[in-house]
Chains A and B, each alone.
Chain A
Amino acid sequence: MERPRLRLPERVRAGDVVPVRALLMHPMESGLRLGPDGGRVPRRIVYRIACSFEGEPLLVMDLEPGIAANPYVEFAFLARRSGTLTVVYTEDGGAETAVEAFIEVEA
């Protein structure tokens, strides 16, 4: 899998709503498409995106074959303390790729 891209503000104030944006370039092959030879192109999707903050789960998404290529996720959370945000992508077959970013929260 390619390297995911993650963007969040470097520094916020405690209690701020933090926008998180994450992109993974991935074909999200649905398994329903016919290839040039007329045969089915095998399914290969990212079926889970798990996001944690300092090891504590923040968000888990289960993705279906209907999701388009290059899944892009945007969400927000409430920042109370500084720490590392980690996003883990899991694709069919169990392969994983992760990306993380540190955010500093000022009191």
Chain B
Amino acid sequence: MTATRQPFTATRRRVLGLAMLATGVMAVSARGATPAPPRIVVLGGGAGGAVAARTAKRLGGEAVSVTLVEAAPSYVTCFFSNWVIAGLRAMEDITHGYAGLAADGIAVVHGRAEAIDRDARAIRLATGETIPYDRLILAPGIALRHEAVPGYSEAAALTMPHAWKAGPQTTLLRSRLEALGPTASIVMLVPPNPYRCPPGPYERAALMAHRLKATGRAGARLTILDAKETFSKQALFQEGWERHTPGMVQWLPPSVHGGILSVDPATNSVETGLDVFSGDLITVIPPQQAAPIAVDAGLADPDGWCPVVPAAMRSPMDSFVHVIGDAAKAGEMPKSAFAAASQGRVAAVAVLADLLGWPRPEPRYFNTCWSLIAPDDGVKVGALYGEKAGGIATVKGFVSQPGEPAAERRRAVDEAENWYAAITAEMFG
């Protein structure tokens, strides 16, 4: 294994050309007695992991072996799950299988990874089986820190759903919303930064209010108790809540509610420094950190998130491991599926450069987060990111503005739907 260490700049087209050339060379040499191709293992089959695996296989072809380890037999996308809660999509629409990856020649292992043995460079599964790697791309996602909210727990989440990992919790929150009366009160707890999908809670509030209003329940009230004094796309959401569902959504920062002290599932209430807020439905989005497997492997900082070297999403703790997606501390990039996929592409190319001596292009990261304020009113925020002063920083960004024409907002909804189709196609084929 030789790796090109000197700096290299190339256009995307040239990199792909070289990639195809290298694949051809390897195919020829494979006729002779050659060692087994280097092993790339991707842990976690979400937006980051699935895109990294497919990128590595698409570019690396027969020159590499690619294995994806994912516990769940199918994947429910967290993105667009707010649409499901509001009845705009069905669960089937956001559930995807991994057959496409297997068809690409990726070995898909459905097993729960229990630990990473960094010395032996292998993943250990709950079954006891080990999967060795030459390079590991770790995309394990988040863990919810239930205990960070006194009174909250995994059991309490059955009464006070978080729905921050898509699946049964999404279905639960949807059915709870459907069962509410015409003057119901809802309380939503929103965590401090950083967390998965920064605008997600506020989109959820907008869509829950929309659903209530559209079903004759405009007398319902949703109170957001935020851990932050400001939030993503704040002006757009606050304007949108008032325009589409006047008086239904209230947002309180900690300087007003006095801080979250505890929640009580038995009485469906939240105690803050100011008062006790009770509701017919309480949804608690707890604080988060990188999934335990990354933390246990010693790849996280004391804050619970995994640092990365910006050029390749490589862990500074282990040069054989790349961390991508929500678990990573990717500088100014938010924790989103779009960002995770972008990081997955960069990590896959970096791994191929390491293992096959391929070119090492300067990384470019992208993100866009679309949010619905109403089913025909979409807004977006996004940016191009690059390496700057040892971190990942914004090169150029854009954000929707208050008071935009309806047609422009409608266009953003169409973009969001097109993006969903594109990213799920890139993830699952």
Contact = CB atoms under 8 A, between A and B. Distances in A.
B256 A72 contact: yes
A5 B274 contact: yes
B182 interface: no
Contacts of A5: 274-275
A6 B250 CA distance: 17
Given A21-B258, A25-B223, A36-B243, A7 B252 contact: no
B151 interface: no
B258 A27 contact: no
DSSP class of A's interface residues: helix, strand, loop or mixed? strand
Interface in B242-300: 242-243, 246-247, 250, 252, 256-258, 273-275
Interface in A20-52: 21, 23, 25, 27, 36
Contacts of B221: 25
Nearest to B247: A27
B274 A70 contact: no
Interface residues of A, number: 11
Given A21-B258, A70-B256, A7 B274 contact: yes
Contacts of B252: 23, 70
A72 B275 CA distance: 13
**Per DSSP, are chain B's interface residues mostly helix, strand or loop, or mixed?**
mixed
B274 A27 contact: no
Contacts of A7: 258, 273-275
Nearest to B250: A25
A62 B63 CA distance: 75
Nearest to A36: B243
Nearest to A35: B243
A7 B275 CA distance: 7
Interface in A66-92: 69-70, 72
Interface of B: 221, 223, 242-243, 246-247, 250, 252, 256-258, 273-275
18 contacts: A5-B275, A6-B275, A7-B258, A7-B275, A21-B258, A21-B274, A23-B252, A23-B257, A23-B274, A23-B275, A25-B223, A25-B250, A27-B246, A36-B243, A69-B250, A70-B252, A70-B256, A72-B256
Interface of A: 5-7, 21, 23, 25, 27, 36, 69-70, 72
**Top 6 closest pairs, chain A to chain B, by CB:** A5-B275, A72-B256, A7-B274, A25-B250, A27-B247, A21-B274
Given A5-B275, A25-B223, A27-B242, 19 more contacts: A5-B274, A7-B258, A7-B273, A7-B274, A7-B275, A21-B274, A23-B252, A23-B256, A23-B257, A23-B275, A25-B221, A25-B250, A27-B246, A36-B243, A69-B250, A70-B250, A70-B252, A70-B256, A72-B256
